[in-house]
Amino acid sequence: MEHSKDFAKGLSIGIIMDGNGRWARSRGLPRTAGHKKGAQVFQDIADYCDELGVESVYFYAFSTENWKRPAEEVGAIMRLFGEYLIKGFDYENRNVRICFMGDRTVLEPKLQELMNKLERDSACKTGLTINIAINYGGRPEIVRAAQSLAARAAAGELKPEDITEEALSAQMYTAGQKDPDFILRPSGEKRLSNFMLWQAAYSELVEMDVLWPDFTRDDLDAAIVEFNRRSRRFGGL
């Protein structure tokens, strides 16, 4: 696919990694095999975003609703997550920052320690920011932000009229980062599934009929080209 070398530079991209289970089922494999392959694709696409000069990417890895899945599947996902925290995020020699979105307090202490270390060690990096949403939900994020501001108001630190869009944005997990220019959903589904509801107010939505484990760099190129064709008016003419 031909494109300008700067066709993705400075973009912020949200990705709903969907279709791992269906991919595995179609091959007669356990769902855990789909998650393993999906984790490999995640790593490759994160690397490619770095190569393209993308500013930030948000990966939806595990939602607050995903706890409803069978315990065996949840356990496999968390083991994969732990493996990638230890091995997959070897960015010590790369200008990449790692951030996590979601309530990590319910995760195993060892995972929390690894997440905190990755964020701390990469905080000084100025290149691509890779955000991983784990135990994340858009509505809980908004509630968390509202509760934080309400507590400050109750303590007399601010007045109700001081609660603005900017003030609320500053309480989100994504504080200080650019809202996603577009949100990509593979697998053919056409919904946000509680992902970045606040930040997606003016994000373009790009759906692709490809399951996440089959997703390639060419697919990301195609999604970015599709986004670049859009006319973004932000409510204007």
Residue 19 annotated as part of some ligand binding site: yes
Decide if 219 is catalytic: no
Decide if 66 is catalytic: yes
- Which residue spans within 48-207 are E strands per DSSP? 56-63, 97-101, 129-136, 182-185, 204-207
Residue 4 annotated as part of some ligand binding site: no
Catalytic residue among 47, 50, 66, 103: 66
- Cα separation, 58 vs 16, whole angstroms: 8
- Cα separation, 131 vs 56, whole angstroms: 7
Residue 204 annotated as part of some ligand binding site: yes
Q: Do the bridges between strand 56-63 and strand 129-136 make them parallel or antiparallel, or are there none, so unpaired? A: parallel
Do 104 and 115 form a contact (C-beta atoms < 8 A)?
yes
Residue 79 annotated as part of some ligand binding site: no
What DSSP letter does each residue of 63-100 carry, written as one string?
Answer: EGGGGGS-HHHHHHHHHHHHHIIIIIT--TTSS-EEEE
Q: Do the bridges between strand 129-136 and strand 97-101 make them parallel or antiparallel, or are there none, so unpaired? A: parallel
- Cα separation, 106 vs 128, whole angstroms: 28
Residue 192 annotated as part of some ligand binding site: yes
Residue 97 annotated as part of some ligand binding site: no
Residue 25 annotated as part of some ligand binding site: no
Catalytic residue among 18, 131, 135, 181: 18
Residue 191 annotated as part of some ligand binding site: yes
Residue 63 annotated as part of some ligand binding site: yes
Residue 235 annotated as part of some ligand binding site: no
- Cα separation, 75 vs 87, whole angstroms: 18
Residue 18 annotated as part of some ligand binding site: yes
Q: Which residues participate in the annotated binding site for Mg(2+)? A: 18, 204
Q: Which residues participate in the annotated binding site for substrate? A: 19-23, 31, 35, 63-65, 67, 69, 185, 191-193
Q: Which residues participate in the annotated binding site? A: 18-23, 31, 35, 63-65, 67, 69, 185, 191-193, 204
Catalytic residue annotation? 18, 66
